[in-house]
Structure 1
Amino acid sequence: MAPEKKEEDFSLKETSPNIGKGRVSGRERLTSSFDLVEEMEFLYIRLVKGRDFQSTSDPFVEVQIGNYKGTTRHFDRKPNPEWHQVFAFAKNHLQALSVEILVKDKMASNDRLGKISIDMSDIPKHVHPDSPLAPQWYKLEGENGLMARGELMFAIWWGTQADEAFSDAWHSDAAAVSGESLMNCRSKVYVSPKLWYLRVNVIEAQDLVPIEMNRTDPEVYVRAVFGTNVLRSRVSPNKSLNPSWNEDLIFVAAEPFGDPLVLTVEDKVDDLTGHCLGRLVMPLAKAEKSFLPTLVAAEWHNLERVDTNVKFASRICLRVSLDGGYHVFDEAISQTSDFRATMKELWTPAIGVLELGILNAKGLLPMKSKFGNGTTDAYCVAKYGNKWVRTRTVVDSFDPNWNEQYNWEVYDPYTVLTLVVFDNCHLQPGEAKDSRIGKVRIRLSTLKTDRIYTHSYPLVALYPNGVKKMGEIQLAVRFTCSSLFNLLQTYTQPLLPKMHYIHPFSVNQLERLRHQAAQSVSLQLSRAEPPLRKEVVEYVLDLGSQTWSLRRGKANFARITGVLTGFLAAWRWFNGIRQWKSPTATIGVFSIYAILIYFPEMILPTLLLFLFGTGIFKYKKRPRLPPHMDIKLSYAHKAHPDELDEEFDTFPSSKQGQILTARYDRLRIIGTRMVMLLGDSATQLERLWSLLSWRDPRATAMFTLFCLIAAIVIYFIPLRIMLILAGGFVMRPPTFRIDIPALPQNFFNRLPTKEDLMF
């Protein structure tokens, strides 16, 4: 028999890394800026410049330590070259006793111009945060041990990843990478561009001249173009040459403002095209910045005419403003890492600091093939607020060690830190996209303050052929609170800036603007050096989360069912009481009910004490681990291959024929069930409304007469007696019950609805 396939472990694991030099416990707070990572020692060599080399040489420097070799760029016939390059060699990989720094001539087949040899024991140690070690001039030695011509300025020291030279250094674990690709291996910090909502309020236009001079009822609209985004106003309701709209067209603008706003007034020809009646090009530098709910002043602008024979200019009245009172969403609202408005004047003080230590990864899967063998060149990207960080790329390793630490200011605990792991596919020439390995999200409100969380998170990726564990990543996280009072006060404040409540956007508007914002962020970060590429930014921002997914629909339905489970359990318990399964419990519950009815002032305190006791009782069962990506909650482990293939399909669909027909039929079945559910809900609400609508005169008459009799009875009989009788009727023994529906239910089910009026 074939051995059973071992089930993959997608759970979160607590770890005990050697961070803070072994002085860190779960609750200990340290003051070092690099206490959340394991210390890694590097031998740093900063090559600055040389002088007095032979004028006919093309000098470059080669650093050799055992089998490791690093090379600078060369200069053509330059006796005084300047390199300003840093080399970093991991200490745990070094076995040599000395460092050799060779100056060679590229033109003369790499002939040696001189060398400098330094013993490992003579190299000084640099301790952060001391100032950088000053470089010095060293004389070159020739082949025969005599002094050669020329000098070399450099600095050499032992340091750690806390050294300021770490991020810009050439690392020995990337020795196979050279040229321009080396830049893609370095760790960097990026900042998202400042985003604004550009509001264009189109009010009216005057003195338009139509293309067809005999046309008296033009259908005029305004087309607004900003960058690659195009919006169109509705056709003016007054079909004249002086149209009016009073309509808002909203874009997302990123600083620095490069593209102008282009407005064209057009006369509709068909649904897609129109004749241009005038054009306005407006640089955003002229737009007024505002964060108040008041409107900016309206201004008239002359329109450029296409027909130059016209001797007078048409005009358009606009309000153009950059609204800084909103938070511009580039992430999904439920997973955002920042809620601050664009204008800094509206920011509240920071309440704490988030520190993240990216330690290492274990068991990564091969992502590409190199020389016939599988390999992975992994790096991490983390985002919180407007700050993005990228670790260095560890080349050709399934168990990379990064040990890099970053921090962010925190303004709201209801925010999410997002971290993704990618395989770097730009270490060799080519246009391949970086491959995603996995994602981790951590919500700050689930973390205790001043505690270090060290866990190994599973890296999970969803593919058309199913869910797959790509490895694990070990993180150290700490949320430090500067003031507990300020932290608790944020729970009482509005989540979004004030403008979101005064002038809210619709759901469709927010989603469209979020896509614009994400594209703006992606464009700006892709222009950095090294670039943070589009596929990485879109994966961090979860840009494709709103596409159709049957798997996600099932998962959301299961979430609703899970929430209702508690109510269903309470109903089952109460039904057991009603059925007298335990006479003692039923009598006790009815006795408590009777006491509360006779002493109504005890109802609310009793309910609050019950909730207090429940909270205290559940404290022992509180979650011990921070939440993590759950494949069972996402229904990723149960998804059918065809459902996943549909989820990864492009939009519009790239499928044809029978596959597309089958999926459309399945979507119709799901849609039919949703329509039936909406119809049933509408039916029940219409029955409730028809109690007093006189759609059924007899039913309404009976209900109004019942209300009159009930009012008289309740007036003469005390309310507590009525409630006791009602409770006794509900909890009567099963012997006195009947199995058919009760009278109120029968009456309600006979009330008329509008369902019979529909086609």
Structure 2
Amino acid sequence: MNTQATQDDYKIKDTKPQLGERWPHGGLRGSGGWISSERITSTYDLVEQMYYLYVRVVKARDLPTNSVTGSCDPYVEVKLGNYKGKTQRFEKKTNPEFNQVFAFSKEKIQSSVLEVFVRDREMMGRDDYLGKVVFDMNEVPTRVPPDSPLAPIWYRLEDRRGESKLRGEVMLAVWMGTQADEAFPESWHSDAATVHGDGVFSVRSKVYVSPKLWYFRVNVIEAQDVESEDKSQLPQVFVKAQVGNQILKTKLSPARTANPFWNEDLVFVAAEPFEEQLVLTVENKVTSSKDELVGRVALPLHIFEKRLDHRPVYSRWFNLEKFGFGVLEGDRRKVHKFSTRVHLRACLEGGYHVLDESTMYISDQRPTSRQLWKQPIGILELGILSAQGLLPMKTKDGRGSTDAYCVAKYGQKWVRTRTIVESMSPKWNEQYTWEVYDPCTVITLGVFDNAHLGGPTKDSRIGKIRIRLSTLEMDRIYTHSYPLLVLQPSGLKKTGELQLAFRFTCLSLAHMVYLYGRPLLPKMHYLHPFTISQLDSLRYQAMNIVASRLGRAEPPLRKEVVEYMLDVDSHMWSMRRSKANFFRIVSLFSGLISMSKWLNEVCQWKNPITTILVHILLCILICYPELILPTTFLYMFLIGLWNFRKRPKHPPHMDIKLSWAEAVHPDELDEEFDTFPTSKPPDMVRMRYDRLRSVAGRIQTVVGDIATQGERIHSLLSWRDPRATSIFVVFCLCAAVSLYITPFKIVILLVGLFLLRHPRFRSKMPSAPSNFFRRLPARADSML
């Protein structure tokens, strides 16, 4: 029973949130009565409506100064029941401009009166009271986008007794709205009332755009007039190219010469705007451990051509700057211009798609250059509703706490919800939209704990979800609760559930059908492909660039978040993944195995009626061979219709059995989470190395067996075994004559009847063809 309950916890659950409806405010009870029950319409139809009281504090004027200091350091405090929000403080200003919005959740409103205080900050003692404005919640108007923003009004400040003061006014706008309001993302929220200082910026929802990435190809052709410090011998040089943190080198020139030739391609990843330079250095290999700098040149990337296809790029010569050999002039090294120069052909390539994510979960397949983009074929709408049952990620004041936010990534657009502070069941109810250019793409969502608000130094992973768009029905709203699963060194752990609502809307069905016959990646990936090692290196560099650029936003999207979303460690060795992939391969042959078992049962006459029917079908197909292909396609058509009833009702999700995450050995998990290079003691590394050798040995045996079968087929006519080849050649001649004389239908009928013969006519010994094939030689004898 417990096992079954655990399995159910790992499955997707259907939910029924109230979406796409118009709801009344309901009542906010207070001493003054009830708020009006008007209806609010919103464009947010994939999330539950959340209502907020918005207070926009624009500015103040003619504020009174302190009688002692003769100055005024004003700030505004907005109070609603037990919740207080404060603007920034201005020093020595009687006409400050605040331009700040406060949002109070309707669910937590406990008062029917809104109070806006203007205070003067005192360095010593209690802040001075300058005045206040009081609003009755019954009189607050409702604002519904796309209505224009509510115009702010000047309000005269009142004293403590509620009488208007002679000096001081504050400009305010107060209205009731939903999370669809334009002011919502930049507002101070009562959900994060305990957050102060710089932490306020880190709890807001934001949209990020990945930098535009280009492949930068540098073809190093040759150099001229290279000279070394030792004039007695010619240099043997190589070129080192650096773009940011990426460093690549050419091979050593084949011979010692003053005019070396390479003609090698070096490929980098560069991001717009191009902040890095191409730094080329020509170095002489003096000894195996010493390189001598011959010259260098730094070139900005914007001087190079951007090309969309593989048309020729003109080469250019660049003079090198040489640093004098040990010549110092003051504190700076002398720089000499001299005749050494390098010949390059370089360009920024926009016809490729720069892979900044794992190819298994790619979310964007368009080329870099916008000129090559096609029209979108659909719209993806995502509603991030809430999370349930989150585990505490850190400790605050002696108790577990979680400050959760959600990140969604599709294409170049990243979104981050606001952070719900100290809640194990946060409600975001934020909706986002993406254009879809290819249905065979994946959107990734991750839930994290905000480390900006205290606790660990890195944002903790709570869980991740992937949804492949091609598995979604068009124009259907999916509302599901997804389990959040994290694999830790201690094992698999469910950290909560994420409730989502999403819809994939098709704009052109014909265009979508047409895309299924098009290549996945842009044309240049097939005309001039990169090597596997190049792709792995370039993908890693692209992920580093994306993480670096998004980390410079405000608030930053931290590196650990970007790496987790982009599956930066998906190519690392893991015994668990290796087992999972092996059994995935085994499962692929399950259909063939079932078919062979069924055929064997037919041949063994386990069910005589079925065997007789197969005999009848064989005779019909032999008599009418033109029915073979139509019958085959009709059979597949009927199977497809039959399986329509059993089609998946939910999008695919993390399968713990498929991933081998539930039955993984603790030591294998420890190995998977080990650093690279390893940080484990030598004894443990030796044990794991021996285990890896054992696994690799079994794989090596399987690969060798497959190669052996192929080589035996090849040896049939290679005369490697003269007697076997003679036998096979004579058999082929006899078979050719027999098949020429005997009608093909009779041959097929005889072969079919022979295979379907009754068990009493069968022998348990291997057949002659099988014995003959196993005796054929393979090249394994020639291996050391």
Q: Same fold (TM over 0.5)?
A: yes
CA contact (8 A) 2:321 2:337 kept: no
Work out the CA distance in 2 between the residues paired with 1:292 and 1:5: 56
What do residues 415-459 of structure 1 show as CA deviations (whole Å, max 9, x unaligned)? 11110000111113x771000100111111111111100000001
Deviates more, 1:623-632 or 1:528-537: 623-632
1:595 CA drift (Å): 2.2
Q: 1:671 aligns with which of 683, 696, 706?
A: 696
Q: Which residue of 2 is the match for residue 734 of structure 1?
A: 759
1:638 CA drift (Å): 0.6
Q: Which residue of 2 is the match for residue 586 of structure 1?
A: 611
Q: 2:55 aligns with which of 45, 48, 54?
A: 45
Work out the CA distance in 2 between the residues paired with 1:66 and 1:662: 64
Q: Which residue of 2 is the match for residue 95 of structure 1?
A: 110
Q: 2:72 aligns with which of 43, 57, 62?
A: 57
Deviates more, 1:156-165 or 1:717-726: 717-726
1:44-123 aligned at under 5 Å gives the runs: 44-55=54-65, 56-107=71-122, 109-123=126-140
What do residues 52-93 of structure 1 show as CA deviations (whole Å, max 9, x unaligned)? 113412111111111111111111111111111111000110
Q: Which residue of 1 is the match for residue 322 of structure 2?
A: 305
Q: Which residue of 1 is the match for residue 351 of structure 2?
A: 325
1:191 aligned onto 2:209 = yes
Q: 2:406 aligns with which of 368, 380, 405?
A: 380
1:203 aligned onto 2:202 = no
1:423 aligned partner, one-letter code: D
1:40 aligned partner, one-letter code: M
Q: Which residue of 1 is the match for residue 177 of structure 2?
A: 159
1:211 CA drift (Å): 2.5
Work out the CA distance in 1 between the residues paired with 2:765 and 2:268: 60
1:718 CA drift (Å): 1.8
Q: Which residue of 2 is the match for residue 510 of structure 1?
A: 535
Work out the CA distance in 2 between the residues paired with 1:544 and 1:690: 43
Work out the CA distance in 2 between the residues paired with 1:599 and 1:5: 53
1:50 aligned partner, one-letter code: A
CA contact (8 A) 1:238 1:244 kept: no
Q: Which residue of 1 is the match for residue 29 of structure 2?
A: none
What do residues 637-675 of structure 1 show as CA deviations (whole Å, max 9, x unaligned)? 011111111100000000013221211111111111111
1:7 CA drift (Å): 2.7
Q: Which residue of 2 is the match for residue 456 of structure 1?
A: 481
1:745 aligned partner, one-letter code: S
- Structure 1 residues 503 and 640, CA gap change in structure 2 (3 angstroms): same
What do residues 563-612 of structure 1 show as CA deviations (whole Å, max 9, x unaligned)? 11111000000011111112222222122123222322111111100100
Q: Which residue of 1 is the match for residue 749 of structure 2?
A: 724
Q: Which residue of 1 is the match for residue 642 of structure 2?
A: 617
1:360 aligned onto 2:386 = yes
1:92 aligned partner, one-letter code: E
Consecutive unaligned residues of structure 2, counting only runs of 5 or more, are 24-40, 66-70, 325-333
1:85 aligned partner, one-letter code: Q
Q: Which residue of 1 is the match for residue 512 of structure 2?
A: 487
Work out the CA distance in 2 between the residues paired with 1:476 and 1:686: 55
TM-score (norm 1): 0.96
1:169-188 aligned at under 5 Å gives the runs: 169-188=187-206
Q: Which residue of 1 is the match for residue 46 of structure 2?
A: 36
Q: 1:498 aligns with which of 505, 523, 544?
A: 523
Deviates more, 1:39-48 or 1:6-15: 6-15
Q: Which residue of 2 is the match for residue 28 of structure 1?
A: none
2:630 aligned partner, one-letter code: P
1:278 CA drift (Å): 2.0
Work out the CA distance in 2 between the residues paired with 1:616 and 1:53: 77
1:291 CA drift (Å): 1.0
Q: 1:139 aligns with which of 156, 171, 191?
A: 156
What do residues 111-148 of structure 1 show as CA deviations (whole Å, max 9, x unaligned)? 21111111101111111111111111110011243323
What do residues 149-173 of structure 1 show as CA deviations (whole Å, max 9, x unaligned)? 2111111110100000000001001
Work out the CA distance in 2 between the residues paired with 1:437 and 1:483: 37
Q: Which residue of 1 is the match for residue 572 of structure 2?
A: 547
Deviates more, 1:587-596 or 1:613-622: 587-596
1:609-648 aligned at under 5 Å gives the runs: 609-648=634-673
Consecutive unaligned residues of structure 1, counting only runs of 5 or more, are 24-30
Q: Which residue of 2 is the match for residue 274 of structure 1?
A: 291
- Structure 1 residues 699 and 271, CA gap change in structure 2 (3 angstroms): farther
Q: Could you say what secondary structure the match of 1:179 adopts?
A: coil
1:546 CA drift (Å): 0.8
Q: 2:249 aligns with which of 187, 210, 232?
A: 232
Work out the CA distance in 2 between the residues paired with 1:380 and 1:353: 21
1:269 CA drift (Å): 3.9
Work out the CA distance in 1 between the residues paired with 2:252 and 2:645: 63
1:49 CA drift (Å): 0.9
Q: Which residue of 2 is the match for residue 264 of structure 1?
A: 281
What do residues 157-198 of structure 1 show as CA deviations (whole Å, max 9, x unaligned)? 101000000000010010110001110000000100000000
1:553-564 aligned at under 5 Å gives the runs: 553-564=578-589
1:545 CA drift (Å): 0.8
Q: Which residue of 1 is the match for residue 312 of structure 2?
A: 295
CA contact (8 A) 1:305 1:313 kept: no
Work out the CA distance in 2 between the residues paired with 1:286 and 1:598: 73
- Structure 1 residues 310 and 533, CA gap change in structure 2 (3 angstroms): closer
Work out the CA distance in 2 between the residues paired with 1:205 and 1:243: 6
Work out the CA distance in 2 between the residues paired with 1:319 and 1:668: 45
CA contact (8 A) 2:405 2:420 kept: yes
Q: Could you say what secondary structure the match of 2:148 adopts?
A: coil
What do residues 20-45 of structure 1 show as CA deviations (whole Å, max 9, x unaligned)? 1279xxxxxxx963100000000011
CA contact (8 A) 1:377 1:423 kept: yes
Work out the CA distance in 2 between the residues paired with 1:610 and 1:325: 43
1:360 aligned partner, one-letter code: S
1:679 CA drift (Å): 1.3
Work out the CA distance in 2 between the residues paired with 1:647 and 1:294: 45
Work out the CA distance in 2 between the residues paired with 1:60 and 1:239: 75
What do residues 272-300 of structure 1 show as CA deviations (whole Å, max 9, x unaligned)? 65222221211001110001122211111
Work out the CA distance in 2 between the residues paired with 1:748 and 1:322: 55
Q: Which residue of 1 is the match for residue 14 of structure 2?
A: 14
- Structure 1 residues 310 and 406, CA gap change in structure 2 (3 angstroms): closer
Q: Could you say what secondary structure the match of 2:451 adopts?
A: coil
CA contact (8 A) 1:182 1:427 kept: no
Q: Could you say what secondary structure the match of 1:575 adopts?
A: helix
Q: Which residue of 1 is the match for residue 32 of structure 2?
A: none
Work out the CA distance in 2 between the residues paired with 1:236 and 1:738: 68
2:62 aligned partner, one-letter code: D
Work out the CA distance in 2 between the residues paired with 1:50 and 1:577: 91
Q: 2:452 aligns with which of 426, 441, 460?
A: 426
CA contact (8 A) 1:227 1:259 kept: yes
1:427 aligned partner, one-letter code: L
The two structures, once aligned, show a CA RMSD in angstroms of 1.8
TM-score (norm 2): 0.93
Work out the CA distance in 1 between the residues paired with 2:227 and 2:431: 64
Q: Which residue of 2 is the match for residue 242 of structure 1?
A: 259
Work out the CA distance in 2 between the residues paired with 1:32 and 1:221: 64
1:259 CA drift (Å): 0.8
1:337 aligned onto 2:347 = no
